Amino acid sequence: MNVAVIGGGAVGVTLAYDLAERDADVTLYEANEIAAGSSGRASGLCYDAFSDRRDADLGVRALERFRELSGGGSFSFTDCPYVWLAREPRPGDEGRAEQRADAIREHVDRMREHGLDVSLLSGADLQERFPEVVAHDVAVAAVAENAGYVDPEEYTNTMALLARMNDVEIREGTPATVTADGAVATGDGTHDHDAVVVAAGAHTRDVVADVAPIPVKPYRVQALVTERIDVEPPMLFDATNGFYVRPWEGGLLVGDGTEAVEQDPDDWTREADESFVTDCAMYQEQALGWSWPTDRAWAGLCTATPDGDPLVGELADGVYVATGWQGHGLMRAPAVAERLAEQVLGDGDGIGGFDPSRFDGDETFEIVEGMDVENR
């Protein structure tokens, strides 16, 4: 079977590799360079802490594959506990604070029903286990043991290398769209394939515009990396403040800066805002008792859908999409690509609930941050 993949991010290159492993003849079209888009700007957090069984199963499988690949070549997966927490209410935030805390407790119960290794912690428990975390005002916390982090660019480039070794033709610097009849159009003509899969991140909507509309909105997020730090914190998401942190090459990655505003995928600000850098310094003081100098800061694009779930599956006859990750694309890439490859080759039914046909494509909706505990 001859398959085209459009998009050289984490999902696209993993899918190309998985298709080739199943004896498909694969050509990957990338408008720029491998990992040049959202995958190269991702946080690299990976965990299975989802209360929905389908999402939890994908998280578990993705972590298995990350670990299988780790240690070969330049790629490595680092195990690290993942903590998420809600703080005591502040004046005017009492009702919202209670909702966040209740959501954490409820979701942990459901995660444990799925067999996930997660547990609830009080503020005192959190402080005892992770003394580097300031927890005097923490109302409730949870910790997932099956978690860790990767270098997003390293992972994506490693999968591209493995795909090439499996005879995948990777055409970088080749913008592509899908025609109404399912062909791939590039600057050097139109190319026919038995199937086309579009995993082009924020550009996916435009790439398949002649095939069918899809309800995806790109939105901007921000992150920074500090200089070297002298503590070893867990991966941490603060549901009260919206920040997340994780170790990063001897320093600390701090992320959030979510703008719930639709962005033009070709015209958006790639540098972090000065106000975001300042807010990150203040948050480090609150969460870790210290702030470290910033080494570099940047922005990236995530993609939202009306119900918070991605669009993965057949959009039209022989044309598939994989987009709308709400910030969870890289962490689930190994599992989603595996399932999608099976579907494309007729060996599986895809991922229930992610089918893009569940929408008309012209839905109106608000952008909701993917890491919000009430969406977990």
134-167 residue pLDDT tens: 999 999 999 999 999 999 999 999 999 999 999 9
pTM for this predicted structure: 0.96
Residues 274 and 161 in one domain: no
Here the tokens at position 209 are: 């515009």
299 has pLDDT over 80 = yes
Contact in structure between 100 and 239 (CB atoms under 8 Å):
yes
Across the range 71-90, mean pLDDT stands at: 93
Using the predicted structure, report yes or no on whether residue 169 has a pLDDT greater than 60. yes
Helix extents (H) in 168-289:
204-207, 274-288
Q: Nearest to residue 70, comparing CAs of 46, 49, 54, 48?
A: 46
Residue 127: pLDDT over 80: yes
Rounded percentage of the chain residues whose pLDDT exceeds 90 = 93
Q: Do 263 and 128 share a structural domain?
A: yes
Cα angle, residue 45 at apex, residues 160 and 349 outer, rounded to 5°: 60
Residues 216 and 205: their CA atoms lie apart, in Å, by: 7
DSSP state of 227: S
Note down the domain range covering 310: 2-74+151-214+306-375
The radius of gyration computed from the CA coordinates of the chain, to the nearest angstrom, equals: 20
> Are 276 and 361 within one domain?
no
Domain identity same for 163 and 127: no
* pLDDT at residue 341, as a whole number: 98
* CATH number for the domain that contains residue 198: 3.50.50.60
The pLDDT tens digits of the residues spanning 173-186 come to: 999 999 999 999 99
Last residue of a domain, one of 267, 287, 304: 304
CA contacts within 13 A on the Cβ side of 59? 25
| In contact, 85 and 126? CB cutoff 8 Å | yes
**107, 57: one domain:** no
- Rounded CA-CA distance 77/138 in Å is 29
**Residue 250: predicted pLDDT:** 94
What pLDDT score does 374 carry? 54
Question: What is the per-residue pLDDT across 343-358, written as a single tens digit (0 to 9) for each?
Answer: 999 999 999 999 999 9
Residues 338 and 355 in one domain: yes
Mean pLDDT of the chain: 95
* Contact predicate 276/251, CB 8 Å: no
CA distance 153 to 43: 10
How far, in Å, CA of 24 to CA of 4, rounded? 10
Q: Are residues 274 and 136 in the same domain?
A: yes
Of the pLDDT bands very low, low, confident and very high (cuts 50, 70, 90), residue 94 is confident
Q: Give the CATH number, domain containing residue 294.
A: 3.30.9.10
Question: Maximum Cα–Cα distance for the chain, whole Å?
Answer: 64
Q: Based on the number of CB atoms within 10 Å of its own CB, is 124 exposed (0-12), middle (13-18) or buried (19 or more)?
A: exposed
- Do 262 and 363 belong to one domain? no
- On whether both 234 and 294 belong to a single domain, the answer is yes
pLDDT band of 79, cuts 50, 70, 90: very high
- The answer to whether residues 228 and 126 belong to one domain is yes
pLDDT surpassing 60 at residue 376: no
Same domain, 208 and 348: yes
- Separation CA 49–CA 263 (nearest Å): 29
Percent of the chain with pLDDT over 70: 98
| Chain segment 245-284, per-residue pLDDT in tens | 999 999 999 998 789 999 999 999 999 999 999 999 999 9
State residue 369's pLDDT score: 75
| Domain closes at, from 304, 322, 341 | 304
pLDDT tens digits, residue range 44-54?
A: 999 999 999 99
The pLDDT score that the predictor gives to residue 373 is 56
Q: Do 244 and 84 touch, CB atoms closer than 8 A?
A: no
Provide the number of structural domains found in the chain.
Answer: 2
* pLDDT score, position 190: 98
What is the C-alpha to C-alpha distance for residues 163 and 14, in angstroms, rounded to an integer? 8
Task: Indicate whether 189 and 312 sit together in one domain.
Answer: yes
Pick the last residue of a domain from 268, 284, 304: 304
